Amino acid sequence: MRLLQKTIVLLTFAAHLQLSGHGDQSPHPHSLTYDNSAQGTVLGHNGLLYEVDLNWAKADPAVAPVINSHALAEGRDGLIYVITDHPKNAFVVFKKDGTFVRAFGEGLVGGHGIEIFEKDGEEFLIHVDCGWHFAAEGWNATPKNGRVTILKTDGTIVKALPTPFEMGIGKVGDKQFMPCDVAVTPQGTVLIADGYATDFIYEMTMTGELVRRWGGKTDDASNLSNAHGISLDTSDPKLPLAWVPSRSENQIKAFTLDGTHVETIDLPGAYAGQLFFTKDKIYTAVCWSKENGTGERLGQSGFLIVMDRKTKRVISAPGGSEPTYINGDLQPMYQTAKTFIHGHDLYVDRDGAIYFGEWNADRRYPAKLTPFH
């Protein structure tokens, strides 16, 4: 294995931004501190090492601006779609080498979650408006009710799904429905995680009919607190599972598609988002971690986690502390490198490269982490 020697230069950006938290709605000004010179830095543990490229995306912010690089997905043409909440463009599209392809979706605000699916041989996008609506400049966002919209990859809107209130569910309010993410089931319905409002999971048809609702606040192991994403594990076709972060509890929970709680993964110290499944691994982005794993929650303390899919054990944490188990229990995790700020979501391609999107990261585009051998 070759050795890389890099000089780490810490850069402080005094931006006087406001940290809304999107789940901790108590803004406060702060400056950004991270290592912006980390090109070629290798992060990870236990042989799962990744070379970091923070400048992967070759886009002009004047042409394709982002505020937050919230989530990513790959089209069948191999292009990487990034969803952002900038009012000029909801989607920014790249080749895997970072070449900018196009940006589109002006007027689709509040972008937070993305899903790409096929129906009758045609490819579609799902845009998740989480209800936090930003102006083009500045940081303060206005909370409103969100919306889930289905569109073609050329930007043509096919269907705006009704909100729960429009279907006669719940009470009117500024934050009655603020969805974070969606997943398409094998039956072709849409699971919607309302992670910034009610923590319910809504299952709807593509035409807007409610199938069922489950989740929410409970007093047992099925409780959801900041259901920040939703992912499907369909490896067992007889028992597909929906995995939902209960981010405020530092947990990821598995449910049957009708909402029965099955399993919980504890990630002490780490505020993680939705899971991404590959053949033998599971990945997730961490937005914040606690000081030394057990203290106060720190801003600008994100990293990412790689788990063994079979055992659900954390085996690598690029940017974070080395995973340690004592008597079968994962010990608290925390950020150890200032490479990332607030991990929000990620996508992993067939070659194992990770495309890593961040929230509240000085408007930077996603990074790419390439397996290092």
In the chain, what are the domain boundaries?
10-372
Average pLDDT of the residues of the chain: 90
Instruction: Write down the pTM of the prediction.
Output: 0.91
Q: What is the pLDDT of residue 38?
A: 65
Q: What is the pLDDT of residue 321?
A: 98
CA distance 182 to 114: 7
Stretch among 5-14, 118-127, 253-262 having the lowest mean pLDDT:
5-14
CB-CB contact of 172 with 155 (8 Å): no
CA distance 141 to 120: 38
User: What are 15-45's pLDDT values in tens digits?
Assistant: 222 333 554 433 333 456 556 566 679 999 9
Q: Is the confidence at residue 331, as pLDDT, over 60?
A: yes
Residues facing 149 on adjacent strands: 127, 160
**99 token code pair:** 């070449």
Q: What is the pLDDT of residue 32?
A: 60
Q: Is the confidence at residue 310, as pLDDT, over 80?
A: yes
CA distance 130 to 353: 27
Q: What is the pLDDT of residue 175?
A: 78
Predicted confidence band of residue 14 (pLDDT cuts 50, 70, 90): very low
- Provide Rg for the chain, Cα atoms: 19
CB-CB contact of 208 with 162 (8 Å): yes
% pLDDT > 90, the chain: 85
- The residues, any chain, with a CB within 8 Å of residue 357's CB and separated by 6 or more, are 68, 69, 70, 71, 72, 82, 285, 343, 344, 345, 346, 366
Stretch among 20-34, 61-75, 339-353 having the lowest mean pLDDT:
20-34
User: What are 223-279's pLDDT values in tens digits?
Assistant: 999 999 999 999 999 999 999 999 999 999 999 999 999 999 999 999 999 999 999
Q: Is the confidence at residue 168, as pLDDT, over 80?
A: yes
Predicted confidence band of residue 178 (pLDDT cuts 50, 70, 90): very high
Q: What is the pLDDT of residue 31?
A: 55
Architecture of domain 10-372: 6 Propeller (2.120)
| 354-358, strands of its sheet edge to edge | 42-45, 48-53, 367-372, 354-358, 343-348
**29 token code pair:** 């000004």
